[in-house]
Structure 1
């Protein structure tokens, strides 16, 4: 198999994985108050960004148009927010 064929095969296999987002309404509905950060991460994967302020940590999965945001206090989820998830 030549290099071009290898690249085409790789792209065909990688595309479905890239399109597979965990930022979905189903996963959002699985989030519950009091969940630990690691449990939320187990559902949504690694956050795209987090910020810490005193004892609170706010993490966001997704982008500016479609996201799930969770605020943790003392490693427990206390506040959930979503935008344009399906």
Structure 2
């Protein structure tokens, strides 16, 4: 019975989007890229130029953007999160 309960909880958590206001509020400036991806997953796209990396998770309706300088988060923004 414990295995079935654990499996159901795992399935429920897998279906949950990591793009939520709760997860956004966990993001802090100074975090590493790896720390950010541990919270909200792999980005959908990133661009790199002159030692900076700008990444986007999600789409135009629901997204999180992060800017990294020297592998540290400097700026976060969001759109459409609940």
**Residue 4 of structure 2 aligns with which residue?**
none
Q: List gaps (5 residues or longer) in structure 1.
A: 1-13
CA drift of 1:20 comes to: 2.1
Which residue does the alignment assign to 1:57?
53
SS in 2 for 1:80: strand
The whole-number CA distance in structure 1 between the counterparts of 2:54 and 2:16 is: 23
Query: For residue 30 of structure 2, what is the aligned residue in structure 1?
Result: 34
Higher helix fraction: Structure 1 or Structure 2? 1
Gaps of 5+ in 2: 1-10
Stretches of 4+ aligned residues off by more than 3 angstroms = none
Using structure 1 for the length normalisation, give the TM-score: 0.77
- CA-based RMSD of the aligned residues comes to 1.7
- Give the alignment partner of residue 43 of structure 2, picking from 39, 43, 47: 47
Q: Tell me, yes or no, if structure 1 residue 75 matches structure 2 residue 71.
A: yes
Instruction: Give the TM-score of the pair, scaled to structure 2.
Output: 0.81
Structure index of larger Rg:
1
